[in-house]
Structure 1
Amino acid sequence: MRTLVVGGTGMLAGVVHALLDEGDEVTVLARRPERLPDTRARLLALDYRDMEALDRALTQSGPFDRAVVWIHGTAPEAPFVAARHVRGPYWHVLGSAVANPAKQGSRRRERFAALGNDYREIILGFVLEGNSARWLTHAEISGGVLHALHHDLKRHVIGVVEPWTLRP
């Protein structure tokens, strides 16, 4: 299986290792190629904020059978550019802010549907510890993402997003 991982040199490094161990051909898109977690992965060294370079690199490397994509809000169109190069499940990793009860809903799902993607969401929550909370560790994030992939989940929250008032 040809898998694209965006964010695979940081919190998703464990996902890259596991998918390679499972026999996937993994392509990692990274701004910092020196942080590539596994030399068995194929590297696309570029900044996803450059939409033209992103589209060109994915056109040359794709199409992909599936993708796990973590893209910061500094490049709001990049997830849609990446989605055009994925013909199977597209797991979009999102920060906890998407679960904020005070925010209006987005049209994210509709935009992915218009592209014909098999869109799925993984929301990064937090961990409750007594009367306080902490952010997820990289290992917890990778484990939760792999759980979503292995169980083919359409929407998965890693950790919790409620009570929102305890968010770190």
Structure 2
Amino acid sequence: MTNVLVLGGTGMLRGLVLRLLEEPNEVFVLARRPEGLRALSEEAQAAAERLTPMALDYHDLDRLGHWVAHVQLMHGPIDQVVAWVAGDRNQVLSVVDTEIYRYRHSPWDLFDIHGSRAAMEPRPVPQLHDNCRYHRVILGFRVEAEGSRWLSHQEIVDGVWRAMAHPEKETIVGQVLPVDLRPPSD
């Protein structure tokens, strides 16, 4: 059984959480809004014993660290993290990495999800422990006959799922070029 932590798992990554629960995974979901977690828990009722939801703002770094430590004390070390983090992602990822390192010295995978701008504005890889295998996943857009559009939630889920199944240092879901075809931001 794989222990998977999903940061931001009630929005566009909701379908990924449900897909992870189709496999024999323990899934720990952290999100700010309790109502999103309740809805996710209801939808995942058949696998409720393998889903641990937590309403928490991941920018509250002390609470985040305590929760990640608690999860590992109760369920064992985390094997994979999928993180869709807004704001200062490096601090958030550093806290998660530090807490995982306390319980796990063998390799684990971090899938850091970024919007399409990350392809044009490369960011340095956060400082992480050596046992963390860092994977950057960039979400792009689709160009169709009638114009360009952002990826659907299902396309995002499928793309992140593929990135997790075949981990590379960087995976682009959809396309990010040419830049002038990017759809307008909402």
The two structures have a TM-score, normalised by structure 2, of 0.80
Is structure 2 residue 90 aligned with structure 1 residue 66? no
1:42 aligns with 2:52: yes
Aligned length: 163
Q: Of the candidates 59, 62, 65, which is equivalent to residue 55 of structure 1? A: 65
**Aligned-partner Cα distance in 2 for 1:4–1:167:** 31
Structure 2 partner of 1:97: 117
TM-score w.r.t. the length of structure 1 is 0.88
1:85 positional shift: 3.5
In the alignment, what sits opposite 1:121?
136
d(CA) in 2 for partners of 1:132, 1:45: 38
Alignment of 1:107 onto 2:117: no
User: How far apart in 1 are the matches of 2:18 and 2:99?
Assistant: 22
Which residue in the other structure is 1:152 paired with?
167
Deviations 1:84-137 (A, max 9, x none): 34451111111111111xx3x43225x23x554110111011111237311111
> Larger Rg: 1 or 2?
2
1:135 and 1:166 mapped to 2: Cα distance? 11
In 1, Cα distance between equivalents of 2:123 and 2:3:
29
**Match in the other structure for 1:79:** 93
Paired with 2:87 and 2:144, the residues of 1 have a C-alpha distance of 28
SS in 1 for 2:29: strand
Tell me the CA shift for residue 80 of structure 1: 2.1
CA RMSD of aligned residues (A): 1.8
Alignment-mate amino acid for residue 109 of structure 2: P
Q: Quick one: distance in 2 between partners of 1:156 and 1:83? A: 21
Question: Post-superposition shift, 1:3?
Answer: 0.5
Q: Distance in 1 between matches of 2:146 and 2:154?
A: 23
Amino acid at match of 1:92: D
**1:83 Cα deviation after fit:** 2.5
* Identity over aligned pairs, percent: 38
Letter in 2 for 1:148: A
C-alpha deviation, 1:33, in angstroms = 2.4
- Name the amino acid aligned to 2:125: R
CA drift at 1:74: 5.2
